[in-house]
Structure 1
């Protein structure tokens, strides 16, 4: 009996998996009118990080009422711990459970890779969404790749933040435009620049920018891994650059801030005249709380600025896939993205290609005042670089200690 049990279980699981695939394909093949009609007067459960009240308010007080008014959809926000949810989905996949509890997930990066590789996602749905087709540049690298994993339509971009350098305009007249100009500025202003050590997320991002700058085209590096010979060869330029500027860094490069918090503190005290960060709008709150002066401004270099695009996806066993698609489509509407851009609320940059909007809509986006310290959307969009594969982070950390801290 035991000998027959395993084949029987595998057969049942295979049947369930096939049924999932057929049902998914059936929905994905429907036209948008059918999907929208099937989503009317249903509930959609959105599982997402719940640690920011401004983000929670955007969902609960703006998005949910709008979806109720437009589609009769009851949008329920559910705070989640992503690894726990993915583990639950994995268990449900193995058990052949076709009716889950999650309709939409806020997911990206390593979690997306794990979900995609384990077949925990619904399928390639994003090109079905009218707002994705009409307003999003699907050819943009930041929408095609998520921390080194091809998106392939399994998730839809929702928002993004971007790495910028921060300076005090009362001390720095004209910020550098390239890494070469930055090196020259550091030499002309010894002790007024540094960066967090490579164990810090922001410090590591600074190194990833330098690595990007060694390649003529961003796509080249995106297709590589850290153990590729060409990466090792190009990275030599990173270590040469860092060793070149080290003697003119804060405290002559004998020590580095352990975190971005420490670097910000040095900036606030005037010990350095620049800081940096992985969010183009974070300086707004810093100014409001008095941590940064009103004269603070931001800039990016001509070699590009790494950004983090975050995405919405649908689990393989979502109980309401039609509703999920309608919700995601609505969150990609110009109205929803404009509200999310407002500095009074979430304040996050849009994933829409503003040039594709109607004149009136584009004017509304351009009229949003994020303050003098925040770069305009066009400048940020032109500079945007996708995040590298996550395995570059520990590799750069190790190589930085080896080539910069420990040796010359």
Structure 2
């Protein structure tokens, strides 16, 4: 217990130091390494697997890329869920305080965090991108639905249908087909309880928001909450066809809960993250027969993007790293290490074991960011769906 407490104190101290470093007016000082390279500070947040992939990418950039003799990237990573202040909060605070020449040189944003930071400080807090400085982006078709001129997408992630191909040779491709499949195969589908994992969140919210205008998916206006009835009635209708155990309908906890049921043969299909399914399949943690399919309209996902804050101190170095992230080498690392969905032409990449990724249409990704409405949504789901039994 004492060691745990000490670890928590050290982690909190490290995060505070990192935040103060980013917000300090002097940024990273000289910005030059001992061997004359220009320092570029990359800020990112997420789970531990995201930290690990960024460490690998930074090492490759610093030692093997075409920019290795000119720039050195240093990673500042904020582990999600370990503190009250998020990366978006930290960057927004520095911008609102009028800081300049900080070490916020380039920042990695998920869809939700990007929406949050833009709502706080506006897109003009970032450099409007000069696409001529990102030649590797030429084959990228995916475009952010938020601040498109100011951010560069570099990888995708999305919730899909995971299914056992031995039992489901022709998976549904539309919501109508999925509904009919559930009716024909009662008890063989599952999605996790919303609030315990993003896949369940995505399935429930997409099912409801399919009945609303597209603009509602990226809005926290309470007016949309008044229009949830039709979607919740749809979820109630589907309830009877969900996975059951001991005579009662069961919604598993966490994304892993549904994937475990699929791997054990308790169900034949579930909603899950594409990268989670494919990375576990590549590791041999789940059966080779488990494959993925995309619905139309698609379940929600995210485009990870990079942006260059105007308060940074190394714009050219930031462009260099941004361009590197869209190189075949960097995209290959992300595919192999985390089953990320590549955004460039994959003809120059080895997709062995990840062929499913090539079939995902990133231009069809749907991002959901509903702010505080998410709390009300989960509460209503618990009350009206999870309590049915």
Aligned partner of residue 153 in structure 2, secondary structure:
strand
Match of 2:61 in 1: 63
**2:358 matches 1:376:** yes
Stretches of structure 2 lacking an aligned partner (at least 5 in a row): 1-24, 26-35
Match of 1:197 in 2: 193
Matches within 5 A, 1:359-370: 363-365=347-349, 368-370=351-353
Change (3 A) 1:92 1:400: closer
Aligned partner of residue 305 in structure 1, secondary structure:
coil
User: 2 CA distance for matches of 1:132 and 1:93?
Assistant: 29
Number of aligned residues: 344
Matches within 5 A, 1:7-86: 41-49=37-45, 51-52=48-49, 54-67=52-65, 69=67, 72-81=70-79, 83=85
State the TM-score, normalizing by the size of structure 1: 0.72
Match of 1:303 in 2: 297
Aligned with residue 107 of structure 1, among 97, 106, 109: 109
Q: Is the 8 Å Cα contact of residues 281 and 370 (structure 1) preserved in structure 2?
A: no
Q: Is the 8 Å Cα contact of residues 103 and 319 (structure 1) preserved in structure 2?
A: yes
Match of 1:238 in 2: 231
Change (3 A) 1:248 1:80: closer
User: 2 CA distance for matches of 1:270 and 1:315?
Assistant: 48
Matches within 5 A, 1:3-402: 41-49=37-45, 51-52=48-49, 54-67=52-65, 69=67, 72-81=70-79, 83=85, 89=91, 92-93=94-95, 96-119=98-121, 122-128=125-131, 129-131=133-135, 134-137=138-141, 140=142, 142-145=143-146, 151-200=147-196, 201-215=198-212, 219-222=214-217, 224-225=219-220, 227-228=222-223, 232-233=226-227, 235-251=228-244, 254-278=249-273, 280-332=274-326, 334-343=327-336, 345-352=337-344, 354=345, 363-365=347-349, 368-371=351-354, 374-377=356-359, 379-402=360-383
Instruction: Provide the aligned C-alpha RMSD in A.
Output: 3.3
Per the TM alignment, residue 222 of structure 1 is displaced from its structure 2 partner at its CA by 4.0
Q: Is the 8 Å Cα contact of residues 164 and 305 (structure 1) preserved in structure 2?
A: yes
Stretches of structure 1 lacking an aligned partner (at least 5 in a row): 1-19, 21-39, 146-150, 355-361
Per the TM alignment, residue 133 of structure 1 is displaced from its structure 2 partner at its CA by 6.3
State the TM-score, normalizing by the size of structure 2: 0.75
Per the TM alignment, residue 339 of structure 1 is displaced from its structure 2 partner at its CA by 2.5
Per the TM alignment, residue 56 of structure 1 is displaced from its structure 2 partner at its CA by 3.5
User: Which structure has greater helix proportion?
Assistant: 1
Output one character per residue of 1:170-220: Cα deviation in whole Å (capped at 9) or x when no partner.
Answer: 1222212222222222222222112212222221110122134335xx744
Q: Is the 8 Å Cα contact of residues 152 and 306 (structure 2) preserved in structure 1?
A: yes
Per the TM alignment, residue 387 of structure 1 is displaced from its structure 2 partner at its CA by 2.6
- CA radius of gyration, larger in: 1
